[in-house]
Amino acid sequence: MPRGFFITFEGLDGSGKTTQLRRLATSLTAEGHQVVTLRQPGGTALGDRIRNVLLDSRSEASLGPIDPIAELTLMFADRAQAIAEVIVPALAAGAIVLCDRFTDSSEAYQGGGRQLGSQRVLAMHDAVCGGLQPDLTLLLLPPLEASLARARRRNQRSAQTHGTDENRFERESDEFYRRIYTAYCEIAQRDTGRVVPITQDQGVEDIQRIILDIVQQKLAPLTVTS
Ligand code: TMP
């Protein structure tokens, strides 16, 4: 059975990862690759419902405070569904899967931000994800302040123009985001073979070129042997 290539994008809200994922998808498709994109939470019908509960800042008005372990478990419920419904079938068909966030986000946000610790998150990953790991993780890590300012501007715009509200996380304190930033740095130091940190705060096109270079280097040996 052919095995595709699994790439995840990670970073703080406002790091620019979603824009870069879309641009990479366009470039790889133009090169003739079969590309499947998705985001977490979301990417399936069940996942979209979970996303709405977890990201809408109005959720807690009707549901009450969401317990951090319940939040973590819902992130993994979303992930389990996406793995079964989208990721594994796409990889089996030989596609390149580009996923906007994966388990590193749970480790950074729930493990670091919510202070549940990495071990609990990694144990849940082992129990739920059936050994699935990204082949490559692009970690966009521009300076914290730049990311936060961008995320807050974007969410205000989105609320005004689309009436959507995905502000539940963005309302958290700067301290919460500092813990996430630290957790991402620790993940990058631990998983050097998989995680490529991109710390420059350059223009979109420059970062796009850097990412395309990294991905083409990773894909080259696979293309030669297949
Ligand atoms: P985004 O789609 O704009 O990146 O927003 C997703 C939000 O959900 C973001 O604030 C990070 C958060 N999140 C977690 O806290 N844990 C997770 O495991 C995932 C996938 C996302």
The per-residue pLDDT for range 172-193, each reduced to its tens digit, is 888 999 999 999 999 999 999 9
The reply to whether ligand 1 has any atom less than 6 angstroms from the CB of 101 is yes
Check pocket membership of 105 for ligand 1, CB cut-off 6 A.
Answer: yes
Span from the CA of 62 to the centroid of ligand 1 (angstroms): 21
Pocket test for ligand 1, best of 57, 98, 105, 170 (most atoms within 8 A of CB): 105
**Does 104 sit in the ligand 1 pocket, CB within 6 Å?**
no
16-20, 65-69, 132-136, 198-202: segment of lowest average pLDDT: 198-202
31-53, pLDDT tens digit by residue? 999 999 999 999 999 999 999 99
Phi-psi domain of 175 (left: phi exceeds 0; alpha: psi -120 through 50; beta: other):
alpha
Is 169 in contact with 109 (CB distance < 8 Å)?
yes
Instruction: Please tell me the distance from the alpha carbon of residue 9 to that of residue 23, in angstroms, as a whole number.
Output: 12
Centre of ligand 1 from the C-alpha of residue 41, in Å: 6
101 CA → ligand 1 middle, Å: 7
Distance between Cα 1 and ligand 1 center (Å): 32
Q: How far apart are CA 222 and CA 5, in angstroms?
A: 9
CA distance 11 to 103: 12
> 86 to each of 5, 22, 33, 170, 219, how far by Cα in Å?
13, 18, 17, 28, 21
Domain regions of the chain by residue span: 5-220
The arithmetic mean of pLDDT across residues 68-73, rounded, is: 98
For ligand 1, atom 5, name the residue with the nearest CA.
13
**Residue 40 Cβ contacting ligand 1 at under 6 Å:** yes
> Whole-prediction pTM value?
0.94
Centre of ligand 1 to C-alpha 51, Å, is 9
Structure tokens at 16: 């620019």
Give the per-residue pLDDT at 3: 84
Could you read off the pLDDT of 110-168 as tens digits, one per residue?
999 999 999 999 999 999 999 999 999 999 999 988 888 887 787 677 667 666 677 78
Could you confirm whether domain 5-220 is CATH 3.60.15.10? no
Edge to edge, the sheet with strand 35-39 lists 35-39, 96-100, 5-11, 136-140, 195-198
